[in-house]
Amino acid sequence: MGKGAKRPSRARMRGQLLDEAARATLPSAVDVCVCGGGAAGLVAAISAAEAGASTAVLERDFSCGRSILATGGGRCNLTRLDLDARAYNDPAFIDAVCGPLFSTDVLGFFDACGLATSFESEGDTRIYPLSDRASSVREVLLGRARRAGVILACAREVGGIGGDSVLFRELFSDGEHSLRAKAIVLAGRDGFVPAGLDAVPFSPLLCPVACEGLPFDELDGRRVHARVTLLRDGKTVLDEYGEVLFRSYGLSGIVIFNLSRFARRGDTVELDLAPGLDDSSFAKLVSSAGNAAGIVDPVIVDVLGDEKHVSCTVSGLAQTEHAQVRRGGLVTGQFDPATLMVRDRPGLFAAGEVIDIDGPCGGYNLSWAWRSGQIAGTAAAAYAKAGA
């Protein structure tokens, strides 16, 4: 955009995107129809098209891949070098689907897209685009999809499957339509799940945790590097180190997001506010200084006193509307792990969060989206071509 040029308003941009979406023409039939053009759906479509299948994506939003833009605080933590199946809610399924080359396969895919990547910092295994922009990830995916001949049909909301057709509504005309497909890949995350499949109800995860038992109002906005232990009936459920953000309703921060995958109402959260010091060194420093303000944020010391260990009780999850992932979705046991096809619905595949898989923060969830998209897309193309 030239100097002095006015940025188009949001409404105008939406209007332009809607016009663009309306111009995308769909044939009456394709080999592979991908329902949902987010992280998993774009990779599934690229994989299917590159395997020789005519492929269309039906996406509810005005453009594809917009879900990627908000990831990693706008920087997109797209994967990590040390992906470990045990970090997910269903390690055996992740092992069976993704195998030992999980990270290598994901990185190989993005290398072939022309994306330069780098580690978060030296010694860190989390991987980001070198540009530090999530939009780079989206752009390389959209570019590769277009080069492979994928039809990106946006502003089309999938509402059902009837026989060998996907039923959808055009958001620009409100018209109901159908698209015949030899294979269908479900990649709509919280979107459409066909009747007759086993699914666990969706519930939000990776979000702040509401707590009671500390003066949270007075602590709102303060940050501390702490050791965080989640306890249930005296037993440790999770023990992690990281930055904790006090909020008026409880606790937030990446380490707390991870804790939200396990926390239940009534659990205890213990915080060690000076994890780098043992108890006696902490006591010595407090006695030399007269208080703990030389060790812990003085505002926190003002509110909580000279305490190294504090605890509170979980009362629920908070700000769930902004949760990063959802638990629930299609039950893993009904899929063939080699293809991600529903065993008793030949031709129906799925990828990404629409399957009941979730992992902690740090690149685990997108890695699953990318890799499951690759597997389902490639297998859907093979299925469509075998039946041709």
Q: Could you tell me the strand order of the sheet in which 79-80 lies?
A: 79-80, 126-129, 117-119
The distance of closest approach from Cβ of residue 298 to ligand FAD in the complex, given in angstroms and rounded to an integer, is: 32
- Name, in order, each residue with C-beta under 8 angstroms of 254's C-beta and a sequence gap of 6 or more: 242, 243, 361, 362
Is position 41 an interface residue for ligand FAD (rule: CB under 6 A)? yes
| Smallest separation, CB 19 to ligand FAD (Å) | 19
The stretch near ligand FAD (CB under 6 A) out of 26-34, 101-109, 209-217, 350-358 is: 350-358
Site for ligand FAD in 309-328 (CB under 6 A): 324-325
Choice from 76, 85, 127, 357 touching ligand FAD (CB under 6 A): 76
Q: Beta strands of the chain (E only): which ranges?
A: 29-35, 55-58, 79-80, 117-119, 126-129, 151-153, 156-162, 165-170, 176-186, 199-205, 209-212, 223-232, 235-247, 250-252, 268-272, 309-317, 325-330, 335-336, 341-342, 348-350
**Cα–chain center distance at 193:** 18
Q: Which two structure tokens, joined as six digits, stand for 278?
A: 């043992």
Interface with ligand FAD, residue 363, by CB under 6 A: yes
Considering only residues 21, 30, 33, 35, which one is a binding residue for ligand FAD as defined by CB under 6 A? 35
Residue 36 or 253: which CB sits closer to ligand FAD? Answer: 36
**Shortest distance, position 15 Cβ to ligand FAD, whole Å:** 19
Piece in contact with ligand FAD (CB under 6 A), picked from 48-56, 116-124, 271-279, 360-368: 360-368
Quick one: which of 32, 105, 68 has its CA closest to 386? Answer: 32
* Least CB distance to ligand FAD at residue 224 (A): 23
Question: Using CB under 6 A, which of the segments 25-33, 54-62, 100-108, 284-292 binds ligand FAD?
Answer: 54-62
One of 72, 253, 328, 377 touching ligand FAD (CB under 6 A) = 72
Structural contact between residues 271 and 226, judged by C-beta atoms closer than 8 angstroms: yes
Count of CB atoms situated within 10 Å of the CB of 150: 28
Q: Does residue 71 belong to the site contacting ligand FAD (CB under 6 A)?
A: yes
State the helix-helix crossing angle for 134-147 and 102-113, rounded to 10 degrees. 70
Nearer to ligand FAD, 192 or 246 (CB): 192
Question: Half-sphere exposure of 382 toward its Cβ, with a 13 Å CA cutoff?
Answer: 12
Q: Which DSSP symbol is given to 355?
A: B
274 binds ligand FAD (CB under 6 A): no
Q: Which is nearer to ligand FAD, 55 or 67 (CB)?
A: 67
Q: What's the DSSP call for residue 215?
A: -
| Length of the chain (residues) | 388
CB of residue 51 to ligand FAD, shortest distance in Å: 19
Residue 24 CA, distance from chain mean position: 28
Single residue of 38, 129, 204, 328 touching ligand FAD by CB under 6 A: 38
Does residue 61 interact with ligand FAD by CB under 6 A? Answer: yes
Q: Does 53 bind ligand FAD (CB under 6 A)?
A: no
Q: How far apart are CA 322 and CA 289, in angstroms?
A: 42
Site for ligand FAD in 159-218 (CB under 6 A): 187-189, 191-192
What track of x and - describes contact with ligand FAD for positions 129 through 168 (by CB under 6 A)?
----------------------------xx----------
| Least spacing, CB of residue 141 vs ligand FAD, in Å | 11
No. of H helices and E strands in the chain? 11, 20
Asked if 301 touches ligand FAD (CB under 6 A), the answer is no
Regarding 45 and contact with ligand FAD (CB under 6 A), the answer is no
Rounded to an integer, what distance in angstroms lies between the CA atom of residue 68 and that of residue 64? Answer: 9
State the nearest-atom distance from the C-beta of 100 to ligand FAD, in Å.
20
**Binding status of residue 47 toward ligand FAD by CB under 6 A:** no
CA angle 38/188/149 to nearest 5° reads: 50
Give the interface with ligand FAD as residue ranges (CB under 6 A). 35-41, 58-61, 67, 70-72, 76-77, 157-158, 187-189, 191-192, 324-325, 352-354, 363-366, 369
